[in-house]
Amino acid sequence: MTPRLVASQQKLRGTVKDRSQQEIPGKPPGGYEPNDTKRRLRWVEELTGRNLEGLPLPRVDELQGIIENHVGYMPLPMSIAAPLLIHGDYARGEFIVPLCTLEGTLTLSMNRGLLAMAMTGGCRTIHLKQELSRSPAFCLPTITEIDSFLDWINDHADSILAAAESTTRHGRLLRVDPTPIQQWVVLDFVYDTGNAAGQNMVTLATEAACRHIQQETGFHYYLESGFNSDKKPSRRTLMNGRGHSVTVEFSLNGQILDFLGVRPEAILDFQQLAMTSSQAIGMLGNNLHLANALTALYLATGQDAACVAENAVAFSQASPDGGDGLQFRMTLPSLTVGTVGGGTRLPAQRRNLELLGCGGGSHDSRKLAEIIAACAAALELSLLVAVVSGKFAEAHERYGRNKIQ
Amino acid sequence: MTPRLVASQQKLRGTVKDRSQQEIPGKPPGGYEPNDTKRRLRWVEELTGRNLEGLPLPRVDELQGIIENHVGYMPLPMSIAAPLLIHGDYARGEFIVPLCTLEGTLTLSMNRGLLAMAMTGGCRTIHLKQELSRSPAFCLPTITEIDSFLDWINDHADSILAAAESTTRHGRLLRVDPTPIQQWVVLDFVYDTGNAAGQNMVTLATEAACRHIQQETGFHYYLESGFNSDKKPSRRTLMNGRGHSVTVEFSLNGQILDFLGVRPEAILDFQQLAMTSSQAIGMLGNNLHLANALTALYLATGQDAACVAENAVAFSQASPDGGDGLQFRMTLPSLTVGTVGGGTRLPAQRRNLELLGCGGGSHDSRKLAEIIAACAAALELSLLVAVVSGKFAEAHERYGRNKIQ
Amino acid sequence: MTPRLVASQQKLRGTVKDRSQQEIPGKPPGGYEPNDTKRRLRWVEELTGRNLEGLPLPRVDELQGIIENHVGYMPLPMSIAAPLLIHGDYARGEFIVPLCTLEGTLTLSMNRGLLAMAMTGGCRTIHLKQELSRSPAFCLPTITEIDSFLDWINDHADSILAAAESTTRHGRLLRVDPTPIQQWVVLDFVYDTGNAAGQNMVTLATEAACRHIQQETGFHYYLESGFNSDKKPSRRTLMNGRGHSVTVEFSLNGQILDFLGVRPEAILDFQQLAMTSSQAIGMLGNNLHLANALTALYLATGQDAACVAENAVAFSQASPDGGDGLQFRMTLPSLTVGTVGGGTRLPAQRRNLELLGCGGGSHDSRKLAEIIAACAAALELSLLVAVVSGKFAEAHERYGRNKIQ
Amino acid sequence: MTPRLVASQQKLRGTVKDRSQQEIPGKPPGGYEPNDTKRRLRWVEELTGRNLEGLPLPRVDELQGIIENHVGYMPLPMSIAAPLLIHGDYARGEFIVPLCTLEGTLTLSMNRGLLAMAMTGGCRTIHLKQELSRSPAFCLPTITEIDSFLDWINDHADSILAAAESTTRHGRLLRVDPTPIQQWVVLDFVYDTGNAAGQNMVTLATEAACRHIQQETGFHYYLESGFNSDKKPSRRTLMNGRGHSVTVEFSLNGQILDFLGVRPEAILDFQQLAMTSSQAIGMLGNNLHLANALTALYLATGQDAACVAENAVAFSQASPDGGDGLQFRMTLPSLTVGTVGGGTRLPAQRRNLELLGCGGGSHDSRKLAEIIAACAAALELSLLVAVVSGKFAEAHERYGRNKIQ
């Protein structure tokens, strides 16, 4: 009898043991031979009941709304990492994670992080919020009109909300945050977009609201001021969040740090350097390579990979735990992911969403956000350890070396 | 007889006419039906002699260095946009551009931009530089040692260079830029990586150089300080560049602006808002959606899409041309792309590189960088026009609407 | 009979003429001779009834709360610029402005800007808001406690507010904005500080609130997380404001631009460069030299000049007015100024506040903020014109040249 | 016999004792009474032979080049802090430091930091560099001309240098760094300005060079692009420096930490929060209140206090020392100070420069920069300790409380 994934409390058979015993949990079979690939596929099927073979393609007409001028498909190599052991607000249990990447070492590196995480009992994630905004700007003739315009907006909250929500069944307008700059008033329309990533949803809803405001006030608007930095990296997104915001936390006790071959003092020492560097160069956040994890998971689950440009900003940090270990934490303020709409309805992408138990539940996008955040933290830890212990170049020499030097 | 792509001066048959005649140049056949796809494949083959059918896959063992724990492939929808007419330092002629995306409207939007560009004679691109760095930090016991350490580095430039270049046949160490902060000295090793994107190349070369320095000076180092913001968005990358730096320029005369349905004053007006917004929120650069173009082209040509996180920072700007039109310009300081190594050696990816005439020339990565920059500028213009003319939501309503609202 | 300044609607005799006549308004007598200084003092007294002679000093014991280890005074040169003609929410009428500076040309340059401003009818200012915050962080053992801690804060808003306001008669706690990052919860306590700049007020109030929270929840806190960037330049302050936020607007018609010797196209052209540069280098805002105006006015009116470090971030912009002129606007999101407390109670400083009609009204700090913003806009315009018309170096050659070359 | 200040190796009598004895070094007499002030003045005179009494004023005509429309002086309260014990590249020995401030607690707080610093043997400072730039932009008709323009600049380095240096006896043009963005080429003219702060010097020299380039190439320029962020806070200044760059380092052994009432773990814990906060809000650097120290010292020594807007960006950090203590370090990349020209030639300001032994030596501006940096580090430490130990509000309650609450 094959175990099945259960959305709320998933359990992969035969992996992570009781915590006190500290056994190394099961990980996917390795190797670059065709038989190795088959073995991994069988391993996945045994543990989850899911068959990942073949390349399921949509009918051409199903691509409407996804791509125009279609000519075919680009096959991206796909791998798995496991076991993710997570205790989240929405994601709970053990998971096998599908990845698409062209970067050698990435999968192994994430897998090392996942093992370390699982060996100390898994990670805890909290889902801080989910908000997506569109931020039109109204253009007033002079600054004199700003006060009365803001009053008008406040006084007509009901009709503005009605106009916005008339265009969507699933989205909800949470609030409108005004920022007057010069003669413009930027109105940040903030939505709960449910399981959708929601970029189109908020565009259409906000357009309806703006038309209403323009009709009533006579003021011209641009549907997008740039204030929400859609698909663009910005300090505001790092600070305020956009999409899902998730924090991940897990322990690195002395035993695990030994297993990883690194001392806690060395990690803290490097971290001072890395935080100083990120300050000096004006990096957004201080993660080491969040983009790698996000891209690999986004491509595997039908997300818009262009969003990585705005999502790859995060806080990453190891802190003393009072004993001989560390607490590792990562706060990802911006994950604009969804489990319905867009590329998520393509069959291969949907198959992977189902592998993650995100194929149809009411909070699937939150669950997915937590899974992605946890995997990103695992990959972050793994590179951190590699850099601190001086194995970074060695790993890339072995697994990532191009023939071209 | 079918015309062939010629790397140095490509010409697509039957597309862009003589500039004075202002005919609308040929564009790919449209439609979402299976027959439409076939028509487009035939159209590509007629114009370029390239057949894009099928999903060519590598042998499993060829994935070594690219992915571990391989289980299969994710099929990403692929489209084409054309004609790109470009007068670059390296890319010259007409091109059909392959794209991978899940965002409805993206292909059509880029195609509109490419048409506008072609109708006024194409775009001019200049390749400003190509530099990739790795930035280790040496940790000195106290700040007192900084001066003598910097002297040592200066005095041993030859042996440092020899150590670095001992690991690579194609990379060249251009210089080492030191930045002392606190007790650290960050050494930015700057390389010319030839046709490779080069991230692994600079890692291994810099590791060799650092080992040499450590052996001689006794000072500890971390191979990566974070100072080069590899795969992370930073102000430094925007300001100083990383990878290829390219500027694109093209004219938008009154006739084309009419065709696009927008007045130049309106574009300039919106631009003031957009530049102010990007300042306010701490966006890196002021582009509207560079990430969309980069991701679509990176995925289609075997680039590491995670690099979009650092590359999606750019300057975008329309200026009065002294008459009734505008000059549109975009400076992309960071394109970490290559045409050899990594995912570029996979067959489907390589097929697309060949479609762009980047399959084997000595400056292919520079040519590719110019093509990508030009396409990004076309897509940027198209969204600019859509936002300014108020058609942004309408376009997404028609082409990008998810079934989920 | 000498006219007196009237707080609500000030009028300097014999300065700005009827707008249609476009006469050049009166400006202070010039010259570097002792008699010139006396003439200016007489001119000020005639127009305002205020005598600025001498150096009024406090009793030594009045310096308590202002400085320790007192040894004497540093005499800073003081000048005047006039006429400021302003139509603000709080500041209305004509003003003579006191400045302290060591930078040659600064006073003349501001005076030129004030003249240009007055000649087209003065400037309009709006006072957007006044908010000052202190932002402690509570340290939770793990991220698991975040949710319940946030709930506790929400549920105890009344007692938190009571604790905070128990320490102050004039300050009002407007709201508490929470930001969870990693295991911390930053609580931004936002206050209305009335006529005080308020940094001490918010410190003591927030400390009282935090002690209450700590007593009830047991969680440790730091009174300052750095999140409010008190006296430090930050993107958050530029975007969200801190202290008073003011926007200034005035017209530059064709006649005035001729008077200033500059064409509108040239200003717009330069502005594209300046906005691009400020983006490239990660400047906070895009003003040219706001710090000059702020420092000169802060020193003259008893403000803490160290606050310039956080206040010198602003948006500055000229826009076409539809005809042959421009609209010039400046949004200053952060002016942490006050008219009571701190250095404002020293006699010489108070004399200058009274010269500006800010010596005792109920909205004096708002009035002062508008005056400062307007003067800053005048100085900004003046440098803009100098740079665009190529007179920048010439002016500094004539008025600012040090003997040391 | 009264000891005198010796520029190269100053020694205050009766202050810092032999390190091993750990006696608390002498500090200025306290108190707010007139007699206390007199006692301090006598104390200063005994230790240094300098008399700080009275308010020496310049002749009115000496204000030319410093201020126009002069009407008098603003008396700023002045205090002293001591002993600064410094082992710098240029500043060596013990110093009594003059401060101008309106912020209660500032002087006492800096004094506490100076004492802690002196008790562990004083601080070490290194002077990393001194460079000031002006950054004109040349406007090319199209991007096509960029290459040849850059070639022209390279080929005419000699005549450009000659033109620039023709305007100055003391300044030296070190190099010209070009940055092409869009159709502009920003040329960063980098100078050594000797003992002058140098803003006017580089303006006039660069204007001469630009006129030459314009005459020969025909291309238009703006003397200032904004790229050097003169008096504006920017990431570039934080990263690359502007003016003097100085690093300060001193030990905090366990004994001193006890004296300060704080544990090293607590400082490291708070520091993680502070570095994360500064990242989140886009602060430039991570100092706590550098602006306070800079403003107080700039006002006391005739510097342009408006420069604090660009100079108040720095790196601040405590690191474990391997034992029970910490190393405290601060890197200040931008101190645009001088000891000749501008306000430094006014008599009261000059008197203070002489008190610091910066009244006429050949490297006085470097010495002054090191002194300022060391004082800033002392003040930084003191606030750090106050925040971490929970005494921040208490100190402001006692020493900084306004009558207005």
- What gap in Å lies between CA B89 and CA B366, rounded to an integer? 9
pLDDT band at A401 (very low <50, low <70, confident <90, very high): low
Q: Are A247 and A327 a contacting pair, CB within 8 Å?
A: no
Tell me which of B89, B145, B192, B304 is the catalytic residue: B304
The pLDDT of residue D400 is 67
| C405 or B323, higher pLDDT | B323
**B143 contacts D329? CB cut-off 8 A:** yes
User: Could you read off the pLDDT of D251-260 as tens digits, one per residue?
Assistant: 999 999 999 9
Phi, psi (rounded to 5 degrees) for D25: -70, 160
Query: Residue A405 is inside which H or E element, if any?
Result: none
- Whether chain D has a CB inside 8 Å of the CB on A322: the answer is no
Q: What residue of C is the nearest CA neighbor of D82?
A: C69
DSSP C161-197: HHHHHTT-SS-EEEEEEEEEETTEEEEEEEEE-TTB-
User: Could you read off the pLDDT of A72-103 as tens digits, one per residue?
Assistant: 999 999 999 999 999 999 999 999 999 999 99
> Which of these ranges, A57-66, A383-392, D389-398, has the smallest mean pLDDT?
D389-398
**A317 contacts D279? CB cut-off 8 A:** no
* Residue type present at position C178: P
> Which of these ranges, B8-12, B338-342, C51-55, D217-221, has the smallest mean pLDDT?
B8-12
- Asked whether the bond before D83 is cis by omega within 30 degrees of 0, the reply is yes
Q: Are C270 and C277 a contacting pair, CB within 8 Å?
A: no
Phi, psi (rounded to 5 degrees) for A40: -65, -40
| C15 or D170, higher pLDDT | D170
- Whether chain A has a CB inside 8 Å of the CB on C236: the answer is yes
**A278 contacts D315? CB cut-off 8 A:** no
- What gap in Å lies between CA C372 and CA C20, rounded to an integer? 27
The pLDDT tens digits along chain B (405 residues) read: 233 222 334 554 433 333 334 344 578 999 999 999 999 999 999 999 999 999 999 999 999 999 999 999 999 999 999 999 999 999 999 999 999 999 999 999 999 999 999 999 999 999 999 999 999 999 999 999 999 999 999 999 999 999 999 999 999 999 999 999 999 999 999 999 999 999 999 999 999 999 999 999 999 999 999 999 999 999 999 999 999 999 999 999 999 999 999 999 999 999 999 999 999 999 999 999 999 999 999 999 999 999 999 999 999 999 999 999 999 999 999 999 999 999 999 999 999 999 999 999 999 999 999 999 999 999 999 999 999 999 877 777 777 654 444
Query: Residue D81 is inside which H or E element, if any?
Result: strand D70-87
How many CA atoms lie within 13 Å of B133's alpha carbon, on the beta-carbon side?
A: 26
**C302 contacts D102? CB cut-off 8 A:** yes
Q: Which of B272, B286, B319 sits opposite C279 (nearest CB)?
A: B286
- What gap in Å lies between CA B357 and CA B86, rounded to an integer? 13
Q: What residue of C is the nearest CA neighbor of D64?
A: C32
**C232 contacts D291? CB cut-off 8 A:** yes
Cβ neighbors of B75 (< 8 A, separation 6 or more) are: A55, A56, A57, A73, A74, A75, A76, A346, A348, B55
The pLDDT of residue A394 is 79
Quick one: tokens of D244? 């003097």
Quick one: tokens of D113? 């930091």
- Whether chain D has a CB inside 8 Å of the CB on C236: the answer is yes
**D238 contacts A280? CB cut-off 8 A:** yes
Q: Which of D279, D281, D285 sits opposite A286 (nearest CB)?
A: D279
pLDDT band at A398 (very low <50, low <70, confident <90, very high): confident
Q: What residue of D is the nearest CA neighbor of B249?
A: D143
**C235 contacts A180? CB cut-off 8 A:** no
The pLDDT of residue B395 is 76
pTM (2 d.p.): 0.95
pLDDT band at C250 (very low <50, low <70, confident <90, very high): very high
- What gap in Å lies between CA D350 and CA D62, rounded to an integer? 14
Quick one: tokens of C226? 């750095």
- Whether chain C has a CB inside 8 Å of the CB on B316: the answer is no
Could you tell me which chains touch chain B, where touching means 3 or more CB pairs under 8 A?
A, C, D
- Beta strand residue intervals within B273-344, DSSP E: 315-320, 326-335
Q: What residue of C is the nearest CA neighbor of D227?
A: C277
pLDDT band at C392 (very low <50, low <70, confident <90, very high): confident
Q: Which of A314, D65, D183, D357 is nearest to C405 (CA)?
A: D65
DSSP A193-252: -TTB--HHHHHHHHHHHHHHHHHHH--EEES--STT-TTS-BHHHHHH--EEEEEEEEEE
- Whether chain D has a CB inside 8 Å of the CB on C52: the answer is yes
Choose the mutation target among D33, D60, D61, D71 for the interface with C, i.e. most C CBs under 10 Å. Answer: D71
What is the residue-averaged pLDDT of chain C?
92
* Residue where the block lists tokens 């301090």: D40
- Whether chain A has a CB inside 8 Å of the CB on D179: the answer is no
How many C-D residue pairs are in contact by the CB < 8 A criterion?
484
Q: Are D249 and B142 a contacting pair, CB within 8 Å?
A: yes
Q: Which of A61, A184, A270 sits opposite B222 (nearest CB)?
A: A270
| Buried b or exposed e, range B106-136, using 16+ CB within 10 angstroms | bbbbbbbbbbbbbbbbbbbbbbbebbbbbbb
- What gap in Å lies between CA D298 and CA D289, rounded to an integer? 15
**C283 contacts D292? CB cut-off 8 A:** no
User: Residue D315: its chain B contacts at CB < 8 A?
Assistant: 181-182
* Residue type present at position B92: R
User: Residue D319: its chain A contacts at CB < 8 A?
Assistant: 269, 272
CB atoms within 10 A of CB D284: 30
Q: Are C45 and C51 a contacting pair, CB within 8 Å?
A: yes
Tell me: pLDDT of C219 over 60.
yes
User: Residue C317: its chain A contacts at CB < 8 A?
Assistant: 182
Quick one: tokens of A354? 């189902």
Cross-strand partners of B14: none
Choose the mutation target among B247, B271, B276, B313 for the interface with C, i.e. most C CBs under 10 Å. Answer: B276
Cβ neighbors of B165 (< 8 A, separation 6 or more) are: B171, B172, B173, B205
- What gap in Å lies between CA B101 and CA B78, rounded to an integer? 7
Which residues 114-133 in chain D show a CB within 8 A of chain B? 124, 126, 128
Q: Are A298 and A78 a contacting pair, CB within 8 Å?
A: no
Tell me: pLDDT of A403 over 60.
no
The pLDDT of residue A234 is 98
Q: Which of C235, C276, C319 sits opposite B272 (nearest CB)?
A: C319
A304 is catalytic: yes
A231 is catalytic: yes
What is the residue-averaged pLDDT of chain D?
92
- What gap in Å lies between CA D295 and CA D78, rounded to an integer? 12
Q: Which residues of C are catalytic?
A: 103, 231, 304, 396
**B291 contacts A231? CB cut-off 8 A:** yes
| Whole-Å CA distances, C370 to A330, C169, C373 | 43, 25, 5
- What gap in Å lies between CA B223 and CA B186, rounded to an integer? 10
- Whether chain B has a CB inside 8 Å of the CB on A48: the answer is no
- Whether chain A has a CB inside 8 Å of the CB on D282: the answer is yes
Tell me which of A45, A89, A145, A304 is the catalytic residue: A304
User: Residue C265: its chain B contacts at CB < 8 A?
Assistant: 320
- Give the CA radius of gyration of chain B: 23
Q: Which of C238, C272, C278 sits opposite B319 (nearest CB)?
A: C272
- What gap in Å lies between CA C200 and CA D102, rounded to an integer? 13
User: Residue C147: its chain A contacts at CB < 8 A?
Assistant: 126
Q: Which residues of D are catalytic?
A: 103, 231, 304, 396
Tell me: pLDDT of D392 over 70.
yes
Cross-strand partners of A178: A187
- Whether chain D has a CB inside 8 Å of the CB on B147: the answer is yes
Distance to chain D for A256, nearest Cα, Å: 22
Cross-strand partners of D298: none
The pLDDT of residue C393 is 78
- What gap in Å lies between CA A280 and CA A277, rounded to an integer? 5
The pLDDT of residue A399 is 74
Cβ neighbors of B393 (< 8 A, separation 6 or more) are: A203, A204, A206, A207, A223
CB atoms within 10 A of CB B19: 13
- Whether chain B has a CB inside 8 Å of the CB on C315: the answer is yes
**B282 contacts C235? CB cut-off 8 A:** yes
Cβ neighbors of D159 (< 8 A, separation 6 or more) are: D212
Q: Which of D337, D130, D136 is nearest to D228 (CA)?
A: D136
